[in-house]
Chain A
Amino acid sequence: MAERELMYREALREAIDEEMARDPTVFIIGEGIAERGGSYKVTEGLLAKYGPGRVRDTPIAEAGMIGVGVGAAIAGARPIVEILYVDFAMLGMDMIVNQAAKFRLMTGGEGRVPFVMRTQGGTGGGVAAQHSQSLEALFYHIPGLRVVMPSTPSDAKGLLKYALRQPDPVMFLEHKHLYMTRGMVPDGEHIIEFGKGDIKRAGTDVTVIAWSNMVPRTLEAAEELSLQGISVEVIDPRTLVPLDRAMILASVSRTRRCVIVQEANRRGGVASDICSIILAEAFWELDAPVEIVAGLDIPVPFNLALEKASVPQKDDIIAAVRRALHESPVARAAG
Chain B
Amino acid sequence: MNEGKPIQNAPSREILEKIFRTAYKIRVFETEGIKLYRQGLIRGYFHPYLGQEGIAAGVCAALREGDFIASTHRGHGHCIAWGASIRKMVAELLQKETGYCKGYGGSMHIADISSGNLGANGIVGAGTPLGVGAALASQVRGSDAVTVTFSTDGASNNGTFLESLNLAAIWNLNFILVIENNGYAVSTRIDESTRDTDLYKRGIAIGVESHQVDGNDPLEVHRVTMQAVKTCRAGKGPVLIEAKTYRHMGHHVNDPGKYMPEEELAHYKARDPVDRARAALKEMAGFSDAEIGAIEAEAAAEFADAVEFSVRSPEVTAESFAAFAQGY
> Which positions in A face B, CB cutoff 8 Å?
24-25, 27, 53-54, 56, 58-59, 61, 63-77, 79, 94-95, 98-99, 103-111, 143-144
Contacts and interface: CB of A to CB of B under 8 A. Distances in A.
| 10 shortest interchain CB distances as A-B pairs | A71-B133, A67-B129, A64-B163, A108-B102, A71-B130, A77-B137, A75-B134, A68-B133, A61-B163, A108-B101
A77 B166 contact: no
Given A64-B166, A95-B126, A109-B324, A56 B171 contact: yes
Contact of B113 (A25, A59, A72, A107): A107
B138 A75 contact: yes
Given A68-B164, A108-B103, A111-B113, A75 B119 contact: no
B105 A72 contact: no
Given A108-B104, A108-B105, A110-B113, A94 B126 contact: yes
23 contacts: A25-B137, A25-B140, A61-B163, A61-B164, A63-B160, A64-B129, A64-B160, A64-B163, A64-B164, A65-B163, A65-B167, A68-B130, A68-B132, A71-B137, A73-B133, A74-B118, A76-B113, A79-B136, A99-B123, A108-B105, A110-B113, A111-B113, A144-B328
A70 B133 contact: yes
Contacts of A111: 111, 113, 119
Contacts of B328: 143-144
A53 B129 contact: no
A107 B101 contact: yes
Interface residues of B, number: 46
Contacts of A110: 100-101, 111-114
A107 B105 contact: yes
B267 interface: no
Given A68-B164, A71-B131, A72-B137, 6 more contacts: A64-B166, A67-B126, A70-B129, A71-B129, A73-B133, A109-B104
B232 to A, nearest CB: 15
B87 to A, nearest CB: 15
A240 B290 CA distance: 65
A73 B118 CA distance: 11
B109 interface: yes
Interface string B223-246: 000000000000000000000000
A53 to B, nearest CB: 6
A219 to B, nearest CB: 32
Nearest to A60: B163
Contacts of A72: 133-134, 136-137, 140
A70 B162 CA distance: 17
